[in-house]
Amino acid sequence: MSEDRGKTYLVTGAAGFIGFHVSRALLEAGGAVTGFDSLNDYYDVNLKRSRLALLRKYEKFRFIQARLEDKDAVRQTFSEPYDAVIHLAAQAGVRYSLENPEAYISSNLVGFFNILEAVKNQGRGHLLFASSSSVYGKNTKLPFSVDQKTDRPVSLYAATKKSNELLAFSYSDMYRLAATAMRFFTVYGPYGRPDMAVFKFARAILAGEPVQLYNHGDMYRDFTFVDDVAQSVVRLIGRSKALAAPDTPYQVYNIGNSTPVHLGRFVEILEEKLGRAAKKEYLPMQSGDVYKTCADPGELYADIGFTPQTPLERGLGLFVEWYKEYYGIGPGGGRGAGAFYGS
């Protein structure tokens, strides 16, 4: 990682899973990070506060608690320009979008518009923002390539992420705003989100409860370790092809491990790392899900010389170490900020 001393960054969603890891990587490289997060209660706020507690140990970190939909708060946050804005805040979750669609329109569309306007008005800097593998929707040709059409999303969450890409492209073209879309593939690791499969399965296995396997367990996912994601994001800040584009300064990248794993094998590895057998509940495919994901990270490697590569066995081992430490499972454990486990 190159030295970032003297550089200033805004990371939205800094108390979130990926935002925490990206913020930490930037701070470790010597950059100054302003974290922006609403600390909403979509999942355990204490976990978000634990991430923040670690970030607050860095002298060059400051935190702003506000909502993306609050235009005045966003405007005030941009009172001084940033070298790069890493926009990772969003209402996450495919299944939750079926229950509370308004939250996705408010945060992912209105909030994203506010960020676009703020970056445009500051007149400089690079916007990098989180998209998702879910934009590939009904595509069946694997691996997923950034050249494929992404006009058939199968969830509202995916539709808002595709909308973000379209809005960013328009702003790039109209205002020459350097923007980079990052399509993340099933990110997991320490300090992960409780609503995601890795976290939910670990909790269920340790509690002796059944893990719910949709499509009767016959699914594949391109699991991507969070340290690899953070390194990819940090490298893209200065090396995205968008920065050198002669016309519209916009670029899309897949950030994935490019090694799909069957859900059954994923559960087996997690059982091994936890030392417990899982009870299994087989369910039909749920609305908004897709059968298989696999990233083609060719553009990412060409531009930054790196792609996610941590094997699932190692990544799940690191996740389980953190999980046991954080929740006080086993000898010497104690719930709290816990130790940080990196690759």
Gap between the Cα atoms of 60 and 7, Å rounded: 11
Phi, psi of 292, deg, nearest 5:
-150, 140
The partner residues of 224 in beta bridges, in order of sequence, read: 187
Element (H, E) at 207: helix 197-207
Q: Residue type at 137?
A: G
> Which of 136, 157, 250, 323 is the catalytic position?
157
The partner residues of 180 in beta bridges, in order of sequence, read: 128, 251
Q: Give every strand in the sheet of 32-37, ordered side by side.
A: 61-65, 32-37, 8-12, 84-87, 126-132, 178-184, 250-255
Gap between the Cα atoms of 40 and 37, Å rounded: 8
Please state whether the peptide bond connecting residue 190 to the residue before it is cis, i.e. omega within 30 degrees of 0: no
Contact call for residues 93 and 157 (beta carbons, < 8 A): yes
9 belongs to the catalytic site: no
Contact call for residues 68 and 12 (beta carbons, < 8 A): yes
**Among all residues, which ones are annotated catalytic?**
157
